[in-house]
Amino acid sequence: DGGITQSPKYLFRKEGQNVTLSCEQNLNHDAMYWYRQDPGQGLRLIYYSQIVNDFQKGDIAEGYSVSREKKESFPLTVTSAQKNPTAFYLCASSIGSGKETQYFGPGTRLLVL
């Protein structure tokens, strides 16, 4: 079955630590996205990538970094510079630019110890 997988489901970060959230898709989609979801705030875009080896900052990129070395993979690193990382992180993909539907993974909940 085609889809998007995210791992881990839960992730704990210690003070000053960088952590990486995994996102893999087998839908052959060109575009991939990372969103942050906080209670009552909807989704906010962190980074997006339209093609391999290219990515752009979204609305709240500070304290985060990404890479897009393969079409299938778009990992997100939450760095120690992100002072309030506790949130639900959602990865999504779509066929490409335009008005297509975005397909979401199951999410990773990041908690700070």
Partner 1 sequence: GNSVTQMEGPVTLSEEAFLTINCTYTATGYPSLFWYVQYPGEGLQLLLKATKADDKGSNKGFEATYRKETTSFHLEKGSVQVSDSAVYFCALSNSGGYQKVTFGTGTKLQVIP
Q: Where are the beta strands (DSSP E) in 2-70?
A: 4-7, 10-13, 19-25, 31-37, 43-51, 54-57, 64-66
Radius of gyration of the chain (CA): 13
* 105 interacts with partner 1 by CB under 8 A: yes
> What is the C-alpha to C-alpha distance for residues 51 and 44, in angstroms, rounded to an integer?
21
Q: How far is the CB of 11 from partner 1 (least distance, A)?
A: 15
Instruction: Mark residues 38-77: x for contact with partner 1 by CB under 8 A, - for none.
Output: --xxxx-x--x-x-----x---------------------
For residue 42, the Cα-to-chain-centroid distance in whole angstroms is: 15
Q: Which of 57, 86, 106, 111 binds partner 1 (CB under 8 A)?
A: 106
Binding stretches for partner 1 (CB under 8 A): 4, 6, 31, 40-43, 45, 48, 50, 56, 90, 92, 94, 96-107
